[in-house]
Chain A
Amino acid sequence: MTTSLINLAYLVASALFILGLKGLAHPRTAVRGNLLGATGMLIAVVVTLLSQEIIGFGGIILGMLLGSTVGAVLAYRIAMTAMPQLVALLNGFGGLASVLVAGAALVEESGTIELQMSIATAASGLIGAVTFWGSLVAFGKLQEVISGNPVLLPGRHALNAALLAATLALAAGVAMHPEQPAFYWGLVLLASVLGVLAVIPIGGADMPVVISLLNSYSGLAACATGFVLNNTMLIIAGSLVGASGLILTRIMCDAMNRSLANVLFGGLGASPTAAGGGKGDDLYAGRIKKADPEEIAMLLDIAQRVIIVPGYGLAVSQAQHSVRDLAELLESRGIHVDFAIHPVAGRMPGHMNVLLAEADIPYEKLLTMEEVNPLFEQADVAIVIGANDVVNPAARTDPNSPIAGMPILDVDKARTVVVVKRSLSPGFAGIPNPLFAADNTLMYFADGKKALVDLIAALKG
């Protein structure tokens, strides 16, 4: 195939990527969107294989067979709760592929390389290596292979700054002396250390931000590789992904009312006794009202509108199907049921929606924070299951709270709030929750799944 034909096919593929992402604007068109994206990728790969530059197919076939097998097994075996880990891992692989491709291009072109291209090579190696190692650490934290707590090294800011300076110096080395591959691999090595150190101090609660950011990086790495190879399709596809990751990063940061810098360098949750911390014994003493399933069933018998607020605790206790059973039972009795989804309810953007969709809860019932907050005042009962910080009214009322100003679900405005929780232990932010001690709150101490099963039994009994 001639270069022009190949480039035309790449243009078609780029257009299909854009149409594919456009399809994700609605659940009805999303499946077709994803297929369009995959078709674009297929066209890109097939056309590349037809290129006259390719003279050996052994390695390509081997790599593709291996990659397809691993990819398919991962995609079909993964539990929906583990989706953030998978996305982290896939991000990382994409990043490392960019490192290797840029490295190979550097070797091929050594001697004839121009400044623009060597800068792009350095960028590709730097971003790719940070993406790979950062993603591996994020994977380890999410999979709980390594501690999910922030790991704060003494003097880490100075260390990271020094490391970043050294990395940039090496990147300059790559740009000036592309004929010396040692600069490139040195850069990759230092960027790897940087990637590990950048994610290690970030706590489990902030993982949605980290994953979104790494998603963006994996796109930018592909983009940089596009500059190295002077391939417009890589540039377009990479920028689309880069933009997507950046938007999600901003949404996640806004949902926690924190700046990106604060997430990356703050180490929230490392010291639970910080301002507003402690176990909240004073706050809770004598003000906690416990309820059993029968009492809550009586409340629900006379309710007309119920809002269920699921948190990650719900997924941890595998209660998605039980919560669907509860919602269906209530609806069969003419009670209107909605689900309120906080943007950071899961471990990645949109995670809770997937977990509930997996349990056959219709997506129309999953309301965003903006949609649902005005509805709490009309709700007879709000049932909070496994959520804590995102329903903490201190975010609204206490300017000294570590979560002050964070947008929350206004469950406290419902006539009665039922909180299903194993104990009064704090959430990720490590602070007590005045909601538990509020006059209109009933605490139902139990494991999420068991609590729901017992509640359903009480409703039927």
Chain B
Amino acid sequence: MDSESLVAALTIFVLALFVGFEVITKVPPTLHTPLMSGSNAISGITLVGAILSSGKQYSTLTTVLGTLAVALATINVVGGFLVTHRILGMFRRKS
């Protein structure tokens, strides 16, 4: 990463933080638990990096590390989205 793309990445980072603060402050307390489990699932986005590490087959070590990371991140993603869906179903049933 040269310094130009570093600055671009930092720009995106800071702007995304602002977007995050704006969006999340509008979530009511009633939905704070599904917010946590749902955002948790999104943080499993590391899965994308894990897939690359596992699939590039650079060396046995990186493939093993990547595959382990794929498994862990998938638990994070699948578990997170499914449990959020389950929680939200409880809020949906009524009224």
* Cross-chain contact A240 with B16 (CB below 8 angstroms): yes
Any chain B CB within 8 A of the CB of A433? no
Total interface residues in chain B, CB < 8 Å: 85
A206 vs B5: C-alpha distance in the bound complex, in angstroms? 40
Any chain B CB within 8 A of the CB of A299? no
Any chain B CB within 8 A of the CB of A363? yes
Q: Which residues of A contact B93 (CB under 8 A)?
A: 360
B interface, by DSSP: helix, strand, loop or mixed?
A: helix
A157 vs B49: C-alpha distance in the bound complex, in angstroms? 36
A21 vs B20: C-alpha distance in the bound complex, in angstroms? 9
Q: Which residues of B contact A283 (CB under 8 A)?
A: none
Q: A34-B84, A236-B16 are in contact. Are A349 and B68 (CB under 8 A)?
A: no
Q: Which residues of A contact B17 (CB under 8 A)?
A: 239, 242-243
Q: A94-B46, A243-B21 are in contact. Are A51 and B67 (CB under 8 A)?
A: no
Q: Within B43-79, which residues are at the interface with A (CB < 8 Å)?
A: 43-59, 61-79
Q: Which residues of B contact A35 (CB under 8 A)?
A: 85
Any chain B CB within 8 A of the CB of A234? yes
* Cross-chain contact A90 with B80 (CB below 8 angstroms): yes
Our pick among B28, B34, B43, B75 for the contact of A219 (Cβ within 8 Å) is B43
Q: A238-B43, A363-B94 are in contact. Are A247 and B24 (CB under 8 A)?
A: yes
Q: Give the nearest-CB partner of A62 in chain B.
A: B67
Q: Which residues of A contact B51 (CB under 8 A)?
A: 45, 48-49, 54, 60
A363 vs B29: C-alpha distance in the bound complex, in angstroms? 11
* Cross-chain contact A100 with B72 (CB below 8 angstroms): yes
A interface, by DSSP: helix, strand, loop or mixed?
A: helix
Q: Which residues of B contact A349 (CB under 8 A)?
A: 29, 32-33, 35-36
Q: A97-B47, A248-B35, A363-B91 are in contact. Are A229 and B52 (CB under 8 A)?
A: yes
A4 vs B51: C-alpha distance in the bound complex, in angstroms? 19
* Cross-chain contact B54 with A30 (CB below 8 angstroms): no
A234 vs B69: C-alpha distance in the bound complex, in angstroms? 15
User: What per-residue 1/0 map shows which CB atoms of A39-57 lie under 8 Å from chain B?
Assistant: 0110011001101011111
Interface-centre pick from B16, B26, B64, B87 (highest chain A CB count, 10 A): B16
Q: Which residues of B contact A448 (CB under 8 A)?
A: none
Any chain B CB within 8 A of the CB of A192? no
Q: Which residues of B contact A91 (CB under 8 A)?
A: 40, 43
A357 vs B91: C-alpha distance in the bound complex, in angstroms? 6
Q: A27-B92, A350-B34, A362-B95 are in contact. Are A341 and B29 (CB under 8 A)?
A: yes
* Cross-chain contact B90 with A108 (CB below 8 angstroms): no
Q: Which residues of A contact B42 (CB under 8 A)?
A: 17, 20-21, 37, 40-41, 219, 237, 240-241
Interface residues of A (CB under 8 A from B): 17-18, 20-22, 24-27, 30-31, 33-35, 37-38, 40-41, 44-45, 48-49, 51, 53-57, 59-60, 62-64, 66-68, 70-72, 74-76, 78, 80, 83, 86-87, 90-91, 93-94, 96-98, 100-101, 103-105, 107-108, 114, 116-117, 211-212, 215, 218-219, 221-223, 225-245, 247-248, 251, 341, 343, 346, 348-351, 353-354, 357-358, 360, 362-364, 366, 368
Interface residues of B (CB under 8 A from A): 1-3, 5-6, 9, 12-13, 16-17, 19-21, 23-59, 61-95
Q: A100-B69, A104-B65, A222-B44 are in contact. List 10 more A-B contacts (CB 8 A).
A: A44-B47, A56-B55, A62-B71, A67-B78, A71-B75, A71-B80, A75-B80, A87-B37, A105-B53, A235-B13
The 8 closest A-B pairs by CB, nearest first: A67-B74, A243-B20, A350-B32, A63-B70, A71-B78, A71-B79, A54-B55, A59-B67
Q: List 19 A-B contacts (CB under 8 A).
A: A20-B38, A22-B23, A31-B88, A31-B92, A41-B45, A59-B64, A60-B70, A63-B71, A67-B76, A67-B77, A67-B78, A87-B40, A107-B59, A221-B46, A225-B49, A241-B20, A242-B17, A348-B32, A362-B94
